[in-house]
């Protein structure tokens, strides 16, 4: 039922116009980036780097976990000494 409703809302039944401004058949931006030219763009995310280097990622996670556990253990021992 939803498929029929959605299709009827999206499809006008007429063929697409040839000179559409949304770039369906030809680009409308001359392959230029839109927006401010001097903005900061992050070329690679942390997730992408982690996915490309799984061994490094595993090492960093294990090392961080060990460091966190050691820090929490030292805090626990310091609190026990004060009581």
Phi, psi of 64 (to 5 degrees): -65, -40
Q: What was the pLDDT predicted at 4?
A: 66
**Could you list the mean pLDDT of each consecutive 10-residue stretch along the chain, which spans 83 residues?**
68 74 68 70 88 96 97 87 68
Q: What was the pLDDT predicted at 83?
A: 63
Q: What was the pLDDT predicted at 15?
A: 78
Q: What was the pLDDT predicted at 77?
A: 82
Q: Give the separation between CA 83 and CA 78, rounded to whole angstroms.
A: 9
Q: Give the separation between CA 17 and CA 78, rounded to whole angstroms.
A: 74
Q: Give the separation between CA 17 and CA 7, rounded to whole angstroms.
A: 19
Domain ranges across the chain:
54-83
Question: Do 28 and 21 form a contact (C-beta atoms < 8 A)?
Answer: yes
């Amino acid at each position: 039922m939803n498929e029929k409703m959605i299709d009827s809302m999206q499809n006008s039944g007429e063929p697409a116009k040839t000179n559409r401004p949304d770039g369906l058949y030809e680009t409308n931006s001359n392959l230029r980036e839109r927006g401010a030219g001097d903005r900061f763009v992050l070329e690679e995310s942390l997730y992408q780097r982690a996915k490309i280097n799984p061994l490094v990622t595993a090492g960093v996670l294990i090392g961080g976990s060990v460091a966190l556990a050691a820090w929490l253990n030292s805090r626990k021992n310091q609190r026990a000494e004060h009581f």
